């Protein structure tokens, strides 16, 4: 699981548990994200969830953040969780966990990041398809690069990719071109 999603899930569970125990009164959990803070000194990830919860609660954001922290379980990926004014929860990733991630990348080699999202389903990518009677231009090159890249990404994601290059030979332009040659 992506670390941002794992941290967000842990925050949701902590808020739910705090609600169940009557420590925090929240009518609905607002949409929130876990993101990189602008200042790296604030940690590796941060969430403004307490600030969003404070809009409907009658408690200051730092107090909400402290209550959430009480219910956040220790996470092996995180070495430190702190409350920072005006009501952020900041996370510092564990050096051991980061080292294991680097090892996983090195061990997987070229296959790191490959997933089986596609499950072998077939997709067809058509790209370039220039007019054979017209000049090539930079846009055709861009289309070739983008089409090939998209096909490679989908293939790495587990799709059975068929790459297609159609020659536009059905129009009257090609007939006129052929007549001009004879």
Closest Cα partner for 14 from 76, 59, 60, 81? 81
45-47 and 88-93 as β-strands: parallel, antiparallel, unpaired? antiparallel
Helix (H, G, I), strand (E, B), or coil: what is residue 83? Answer: strand
Q: What is the pLDDT of residues 58-116, one digit of tens each?
A: 889 999 999 999 999 999 999 999 999 999 999 999 999 999 999 999 999 988 888 88
Structural contact between residues 26 and 15, judged by C-beta atoms closer than 8 angstroms: yes
DSSP run (H or E) holding 19:
helix 3-20
Structural contact between residues 90 and 37, judged by C-beta atoms closer than 8 angstroms: yes
Which domains, and CATH codes, for the chain? 3-96 (3.30.1360.70), 114-181 (no CATH)
DSSP helix, strand, coil percent of the chain (3-state; round to 5): 45, 15, 40
Cα distances from 31 to residues 8, 111, 159, in angstroms, run: 10, 34, 32
The total of other beta-carbon atoms located within 10 Å of residue 74's CB is 7
- pLDDT of res. 89: 97
d(CA 179, CA 173): 10
- pLDDT of res. 170: 58
- pLDDT of res. 6: 96
What mean pLDDT comes out for the span 137-159?
A: 89
């Amino acid at each position: 699981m992506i670390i941002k999603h794992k941290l967000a899930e842990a925050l949701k569970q902590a808020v739910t548990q705090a609600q169940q125990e009557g420590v925090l009164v929240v009518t609905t959990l607002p949409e929130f994200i876990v993101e990189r803070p602008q200042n790296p000194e604030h940690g590796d990830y941060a969430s403004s969830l307490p600030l969003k919860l404070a809009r409907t609660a009658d408690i200051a954001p730092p107090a909400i953040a402290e209550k959430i922290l009480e219910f956040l379980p220790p996470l092996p990926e995180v070495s430190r969780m702190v409350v920072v004014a005006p009501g952020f929860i900041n996370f510092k990733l564990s050096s051991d966990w980061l080292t294991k991630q680097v090892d996983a990348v090195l061990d997987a080699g070229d296959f790191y990041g490959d997933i089986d999202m596609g499950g072998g389903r077939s997709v067809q990518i058509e790209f370039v398809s220039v007019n054979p009677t017209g000049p090539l231009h930079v846009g055709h090159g861009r289309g070739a690069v983008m089409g090939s890249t998209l096909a490679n990404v989908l293939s790495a994601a587990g799709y059975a990719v068929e790459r297609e290059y159609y020659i536009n030979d059905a129009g009257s332009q090609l007939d006129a071109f052929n007549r001009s040659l004879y």
